[in-house]
Amino acid sequence: MARYQCPDCSYIYDELRGEAHEGFPPNTSWAQIPEDWACPDCAVRDKADFIPLDSGEVGEEAGPQSGSGAER
């Protein structure tokens, strides 16, 4: 599943997690988000402004998966 980042405040919409406060349950795809939806954190940016993130761009999710502990 993909993630998208607000270029203004860095809020990240994660399709896997959804956004319960906005009415989007987990596994809600980006295509299902209304075109007139605005960032829930800053309300400055619209859906069209969000930047798609590659799976390796956010360090907190890549870290635990990259080290399996086999080198100990």
Q: What structural domains and CATH numbers belong to the chain?
A: 1-37 (2.20.28.10)
Q: Please state the pTM of the whole predicted model.
A: 0.72
Contact (Cβ atoms closer than 8 angstroms) between residue 30 and residue 4: yes
Contact (Cβ atoms closer than 8 angstroms) between residue 28 and residue 18: yes
Condensed to tens digits (0 to 9), the pLDDT of residues 5-57 reads 999 999 999 999 999 999 999 999 999 999 999 999 999 999 999 999 986 54
Q: What is the strand order of the sheet 51-53 is part of? A: 12-14, 3-5, 51-53
State the Cα–Cα distance between residues 61 and 39, nearest whole angstrom: 22
Q: Is 58 exposed, middle or buried (0-12, 13-18, 19+ CB in 10 A)?
A: middle
